Amino acid sequence: MKKYLLPLLLLLSLNAQAQESLEPQPLDDLMSPDEIAEESGFPRTEIPIVVKSIDDIARTESMDIFREFRVILIINKKAAGVGAQRMRVYLNGFLTYDWLVSTGRERWETAKSGRTYFSVTPTGYFYPYMLNKDHYSETWKTPMPYAVFFNGGIAVHATTPGLYKQLGSRASGGCVRLQHENAAFIFNRIQTEGRGLVPVINRNGTVSRDRRGNVIRRVNYRTLIIVEDR
């Protein structure tokens, strides 16, 4: 029996490697986020900034954002430690899911396109501005499934099964990668909750107010995406 076990394991390993090699490379490894944005006519990607924590907002802005947004995604992009490389999903104010993700590798590198860029997932508070279930690069003939764009060419999106083992580490070109079923859930939930009148929260976490101190509200997705590094 043992003499057949090793060849069988070797065959299974080779099959897995072959399957992985057939999977398309993630688009954010082939192109920089700015190139993804340029190809689709999206806004330019914003750089990282220092952001307030949710507790800071509650204390200094007198606002409970969990009451203001139907969906809140808190992405912790730190490299290691408690809560690192995870997405906490709040639905109607309640922590509902806590998933592994991969954010930017945080280094200078050259995409397959030839452009040199720093592969970072910028910190800040964001609203989704474009949802595309079947985003596709005509340049590279490569899909980016269940893409929720929130900062230029940076999106929350599904990764390929061959890269699931990288989840929990900094491994992307700047996007936030998730398992396929998790990305599909997020995409569909954001679509379902749709748009409504929500407070205008600036990228650093401050709340926009008028001259009288009233919170400024605008129609936007009822979803808030927070990228933190703490």
pLDDT at 228 over 90: yes
- pLDDT bin (cut points 50, 70, 90) of residue 18 is very low
Q: If you average pLDDT over residues 130-135, what whole number do you get?
A: 93
Q: If you average pLDDT over residues 196-213, what whole number do you get?
A: 96
Tell me, yes or no, whether 3 lies in a domain: no
pLDDT at residue 1, rounded to an integer? 52
Report the alpha-carbon distance of residue 48 to residue 106 in Å, rounded: 11
pLDDT at residue 41, rounded to an integer? 84
Tell me, yes or no, whether 105 lies in a domain: yes
Q: Which residues form the domain of 49?
A: 24-228
Report the alpha-carbon distance of residue 150 to residue 154 in Å, rounded: 6
Higher pLDDT, 177 or 17: 177
Out of 135, 157, 170, 177, which one is annotated catalytic?
157
Alpha-carbon torsion, ordered 70, 68, 159, 170, to 10 deg: -150
Element (DSSP H or E) covering residue 183: helix 180-193
Tell me, yes or no, whether 7 lies in a domain: no
Tokens 């407070």: give the residue.
199
Q: If you average pLDDT over residues 211-218, what whole number do you get?
A: 96
Residue 92's alpha-carbon distances to 9, 54, 55, 58, 116, in angstroms, are: 46, 16, 18, 17, 40
Give the highest mean pLDDT range of 3-12, 18-27, 195-204.
Answer: 195-204
Higher pLDDT, 91 or 25: 91
pTM: 0.87
Strand pairing class (176-178; 154-158): parallel
CB 65 within 8 Å of CB 57: yes
Report the alpha-carbon distance of residue 71 to residue 147 in Å, rounded: 16
Count of domains for the chain: 1
Q: If you average pLDDT over residues 81-105, what whole number do you get?
A: 97
Number of other CB atoms surrounding residue 97 within 10 Å: 14
Angle at 40 between CA 36 and CA 41, to 5 degrees: 110
Number of other CB atoms surrounding residue 183 within 10 Å: 25
Q: What is the pLDDT of residues 146-171, one digit of tens each?
A: 999 999 999 999 999 999 999 999 99
Tell me, yes or no, whether 8 lies in a domain: no
Tell me, yes or no, whether 13 lies in a domain: no
Tell me, yes or no, whether 82 lies in a domain: yes
Report the alpha-carbon distance of residue 161 to residue 180 in Å, rounded: 8
- Please enumerate in sequence order all residues whose Cβ is within 8 A of that of 10, keeping only pairs 6 or more positions apart, or say none: none
pLDDT at residue 204, rounded to an integer? 94
Tell me, yes or no, whether 1 lies in a domain: no
Tell me, yes or no, whether 4 lies in a domain: no
Number of other CB atoms surrounding residue 54 within 10 Å: 20
Please report, for the domain that includes residue 49, its CATH number.
2.40.440.10
pLDDT at residue 2, rounded to an integer? 52
Out of 175, 178, 207, 227, which one is annotated catalytic?
175
Higher pLDDT, 77 or 143: 77
Q: In what order do the strands lie in the sheet with 124-126?
A: 94-100, 86-91, 71-76, 223-228, 124-126
CB 149 within 8 Å of CB 128: yes
Told to judge if 7 belongs to the known catalytic residues of this protein, a careful annotator would answer no
| Average pLDDT of the chain, as a whole number | 89
* DSSP code for 173: S
Whose CA is closest to 176, among 158, 194, 156?
156
pLDDT at residue 8, rounded to an integer? 47
Q: If you average pLDDT over residues 190-207, what whole number do you get?
A: 97
pLDDT at residue 40, rounded to an integer? 82
Told to judge if 175 belongs to the known catalytic residues of this protein, a careful annotator would answer yes
Span of 43-57, 177-191, 205-219 with lowest mean pLDDT: 43-57
